[in-house]
Amino acid sequence: MNESVPSSSEPILRLTGVGVTYPGGTKALSPQDLEIHEGEVTILLGRSGAGKSTLLRAMNLLVSPTEGTVSCPVLGDLSGVSKIRKHRRRTGMVFQQHQLIGRQTALTNVLTARLSRFSTLRSLFALPRPDREKALSCLDRVGLLDKALQRVDQLSGGQQQRVGVARALAMEPGLILADEPVASLDPATSRQLLTLLRDVCRRDGITLVISLHQVEFAKEFGDRIVALAHGRIVFDDTPEQLNEAALASIYEGETPVEKSDSRKTGVDASSTKDPALAAVR
Ligand SMILES: Nc1ncnc2c1ncn2[C@@H]1O[C@H](COP(=O)(O)OP(=O)(O)OP(=O)(O)O)[C@@H](O)[C@H]1O
Ligand SMILES: [Mg+2]
């Protein structure tokens, strides 16, 4: 069951023996091999706690693997501040709670995606006109040009998430990682958001990885489904192959998350004291 979908496209990202054990000993991800293919929509599916966010965040080193390596053809092994920073610049993130600044306008939030291109000193001043135009065009693509100057906390949940998509697009990424982007939206708005995300990525040739827990959306929007249970990949195939037996292996047999000793501990870069990771936050 754990066999990669044959694909003619090149891997844009390769995870080799990647495992994550968090501080405290929670083994969120057992060592896994996974290649993400260029131009595809890959869905990470699984119940709560299965390890979807951990695997997704390991793909841009927001969670640091305690075992194995993450690599991409352009940069090789993603180790060291410089490579991680370069990788992150070409990787857009869309979060469940969108992580926008509520008091700021939609435009300002999208512009933050352009800041990483500039030095700290340069980013203290207004960004150049082309960057502002780029941010506006990204808002236009998600249908929110008319909301560009509206505060984000005055937008609906679906609109806020579209600002999150615009922010990811403004990075001009080769890869977008979306962690449960529709978890707090109603089904109709969820379908609209996922359609938008898939369509803009297809048009721009952006590779897309989305974590979801809804099977019907996974089947509708994925070129490939990678399902996790208890920190392991238990299914990796096309949506057509996701039959009852496969679903049973994903959703049945709940067992406690394995605890291990804490010698190898995963580090979430958002709270790390590791200088290499902290520097690229
Ligand atoms: N920062 C952390 N520190 C310690 N344990 C963590 C941390 N983040 C996640 N975990 C644990 O790792 C396991 C996998 O969590 P993860 O968030 O990857 O699952 P998930 O599939 O994304 O779940 P959900 O659908 O609820 O978002 C869980 O047991 C979780 O409690
Ligand atoms: Mg999650």
pLDDT of residue 10: 76
The yes-or-no verdict on residue 264 having pLDDT over 50 is no
Contact 22, 28 (CB under 8 A): yes
- The closest-lying atom of ligand 1 relative to the alpha carbon of residue 47 is 25
Residue 53 Cα to ligand 1 middle (Å): 7
Tokens of 131: 């960057």
Sign of CA dihedral 199, 204, 209, 210: negative
The yes-or-no verdict on residue 91 having pLDDT over 90 is yes
Residue among 52, 179, 211 whose CB has most ligand 1 atoms within 8 A, to mutate: 52
Q: In the predicted model, what is the mean pLDDT of the chain?
A: 85
Q: Which pTM value belongs to this model? A: 0.86
**pLDDT for 109-136, tens place per residue?**
999 887 766 555 555 556 778 888 999 9
pLDDT of residue 281: 33
State mean pLDDT over 265-276.
37
- The closest-lying atom of ligand 1 relative to the alpha carbon of residue 213 is 25
Q: What is the DSSP letter of 154?
A: G
Alpha carbon distance 9, 202 (integer Å): 14
**pLDDT for 164-198, tens place per residue?**
999 999 999 999 999 999 998 999 999 999 999 99
The yes-or-no verdict on residue 28 having pLDDT over 90 is yes
The yes-or-no verdict on residue 153 having pLDDT over 80 is yes
Using pLDDT thresholds of 50, 70 and 90, give the confidence band for residue 276. very low
Using pLDDT thresholds of 50, 70 and 90, give the confidence band for residue 7. low
pLDDT of residue 260: 39
Considering every ligand atom shown, identify the ligand nearest to the alpha carbon of residue 269 and give its number: 1
Neighbouring residues of 141: CB distance < 8 A, sequence distance ≥ 6: 166, 169, 200
Question: 67-71, 87-91, 115-119, 210-214 — which is least confidently predicted?
Answer: 115-119
**pLDDT for 237-257, tens place per residue?**
999 999 999 999 898 754 433
- The closest-lying atom of ligand 1 relative to the alpha carbon of residue 46 is 21
Tokens of 88: 């992150």
pLDDT of residue 116: 66
End-to-end CA distance of the chain, in Å? Answer: 36
Alpha carbon distance 223, 188 (integer Å): 21
- Residues near ligand 1 with C-beta < 6 Å? 22, 24, 26, 28, 46, 48-54, 180, 213, 257, 268
State mean pLDDT over 24-49.
96
| H or E segment to which residue 140 belongs | helix 129-141
